[in-house]
Amino acid sequence: MSIKSAKNLIRDLKKHGYQAYLVGGVVRDFLMKEKFSDIDITTNAKPFEVMKHFKAVPSGIKYGTVTILYDNLQFEVTTFRTDGPTSDFRHPDSVIYSDNVTDDVHRRDFTINGILMDEYQNIYDYVGGQKDIENKLIRAIGDPSTRFNEDALRILRALYFQSKLGFEIEENTKEAMLNNRHLIKELAMERVHKELIKILQGKHLKMAIQSIIDTKIHEVLPGLEKGILWVNKLEEMPFIDTFFALSFTLNKGIIPVEWTFSNVHRNKYLKASEVALNYPKEISDEALYQYGLEICLLANKVNFNLGKQKYLNRSIQDRFEKLPIKSELDLALTSQEIMNIKNKKAGIWLGKIKKEMITDILNKKVLNTKESLTKYVESKEV
Ligand code: ATP
Ligand code: MG
């Protein structure tokens, strides 16, 4: 991302007679000398005017946002606006365009996100954002409770910024998070899920977890309540997969349906908590065979964080490598050969004997060679 291109874009907007500023994360991160991810520009040009002068697509037109393609980069350009009332605790029912940038600043979420910067790097701070950056504080703009009632996602965004930046949440803002935590239940679960994942990826997750507990927000995150309380006691925060698998293990292996995990993720956490619950002491070779390496490593991380097992990453990998059989396809006898030995057509018996054979191979009762398995099949009643 290039701030130079953004400055040029602001110059171009001004040439067309509009006001324009950098705003939001880019200014905050610039002042903190951190890398920024995306660039937001705020302008009094209306979306259709922006689209007349620039190569742009209407990416969030309902809220006055278009994405400009400029110097081969994308910029989110939003028209100055004030937000009308909300009836869904998330989106304003209507937005009203404004010609006054201070209106636009005051509809934003936190002071650290409400600082403006022009193309000369002059700062315009109408909300005390610079002071809050200095003091490392996340503070709602205006009355926090009102702001969270307009959009409850802001409650989770406060936690996201804490986890990302390591700032404290200002006292009144935090108290309003506690008092309005039930509003999170009104949000689309997909949005909650996305924001939670952003929270869990932050460098300062430990602080955010503590705040979640202080504000009792864990109580409105189904199935994660025990997991959050547990990891709060750990020295080091687990990675995201371990966090979810651990939480659902403590939730008796149940993943509440509301969460919008992909099938792949849901299945991974389900299986890992199954292994973690069924093999609290040691993960057997049979489990390794049945669930595969990835799930077993995750289950071990869960049980390690639960204080039930040592961290056995290496040894589980070694054991997996050395498994005498990793799939049914590795059997030294084919189904046809088994049928020939028994002189019998395929049937339920075949699946059953293959299953027993695999278990006995894994438990080193029989070798996975043609010779041993032939004797093995011969000796079995079917
Ligand atoms: P990040 O580093 O994650 O991009 P950001 O502060 O840039 O952080 P964005 O989600 O990119 O966050 O939003 C850009 C800006 O838009 C914010 O800084 C804030 O000013 C405003 N904003 C975004 N979401 C909201 C919201 N839900 N309520 C009020 N203002 C918001
Ligand atoms: Mg941003």
pLDDT surpasses 70 at 107: yes
Residue bearing the CA closest to ligand 1, atom 28 = 109
pLDDT tens digits for range 337-356: 999 999 999 999 999 999 99
Q: What is the dihedral of CA 258, 259, 261, 263, to 10 degrees?
A: -30
Shortest-distance ligand to the CA of residue 92? 1
Index of the ligand 1 atom closest to the CA of residue 29: 2
Average pLDDT over residues 108-123: 98
Tell how far the Cα of 25 is from the centroid of ligand 1, in angstroms.
6
Task: Name the strand (E) or helix (H) holding 167.
Answer: none
pLDDT tens digits for range 226-243: 999 999 999 999 999 999
- For residues 234 and 214, give the distance between their C-alpha atoms in angstroms, rounded to a whole number: 16
Residue bearing the CA closest to ligand 1, atom 25 = 109
Confirm if 202 and 160 have CB atoms less than 8 A apart: yes
- For residues 193 and 261, give the distance between their C-alpha atoms in angstroms, rounded to a whole number: 8
For residue 373, the tally of other CB atoms under 10 A from its CB is: 21
DSSP result, 358-380:
HHHHHTTSS-SSHHHHHHHHHHS
CATH classification for the domain delimited by 1-132, as one of 3.30.230.80, 3.40.630.30, 3.30.460.10, 3.10.20.30: 3.30.460.10
Residue bearing the CA closest to ligand 1, atom 9 = 25
Sheet-wide strand order for 65-70: 56-60, 65-70, 73-79, 40-43, 20-23, 116-117, 123-124
pLDDT tens digits for range 195-212: 999 999 999 999 999 999
Exposed, middle or buried, 194 (CB in 10 Å: 0-12/13-18/19+)?
A: middle
Average pLDDT over residues 95-120: 97
- For residues 205 and 164, give the distance between their C-alpha atoms in angstroms, rounded to a whole number: 8
**Residue 92: DSSP 8-state:** B
CATH classification for the domain delimited by 136-221, as one of 1.10.110.30, 3.40.50.2000, 1.10.510.10, 2.60.40.10: 1.10.110.30
Average pLDDT over residues 43-66: 95
Task: Give the pLDDT of residue 364.
Answer: 93
Average pLDDT over residues 237-264: 98
Tokens 């991160």 appear where? 29
Q: CATH topology for 328-379?
A: Serum Albumin; Chain A, Domain 1 (1.10.246)
Shortest-distance ligand to the CA of residue 157? 1
Q: For residue 31, what are its two tokens?
A: 């002042």
pLDDT tens digits for range 316-338: 999 999 999 999 999 999 999 99
Query: Is 125 a pocket residue for ligand 1 (Cβ < 6 Å)?
Result: no
Q: For residue 36, what are its two tokens?
A: 């920024």
pLDDT surpasses 90 at 189: yes
Q: For residue 135, what are its two tokens?
A: 């003091």
Q: Which residue ranges does the chain devote to CATH 1.10.110.30?
A: 136-221
Q: For residue 45, what are its two tokens?
A: 């040009």
Please give the model's pTM, rounded to 2 decimal places: 0.93
Confirm if 182 and 84 have CB atoms less than 8 A apart: no
Average pLDDT over residues 165-181: 98
Q: For residue 215, what are its two tokens?
A: 């504000």
Average pLDDT over residues 6-21: 97
Query: Is 76 a pocket residue for ligand 1 (Cβ < 6 Å)?
Result: no
pLDDT tens digits for range 125-143: 999 999 999 999 999 999 9
Query: Is 153 a pocket residue for ligand 1 (Cβ < 6 Å)?
Result: yes
Q: Which residue ranges does the chain devote to CATH 3.30.460.10?
A: 1-132
Confirm if 217 and 181 have CB atoms less than 8 A apart: yes
Task: Give the pLDDT of residue 84.
Answer: 86
Task: Give the pLDDT of residue 1.
Answer: 67
Q: Which residue ranges does the chain devote to CATH 1.10.246?
A: 328-379
Query: Is 24 a pocket residue for ligand 1 (Cβ < 6 Å)?
Result: yes
Q: For residue 284, what are its two tokens?
A: 């057997």
- For residues 181 and 183, give the distance between their C-alpha atoms in angstroms, rounded to a whole number: 5
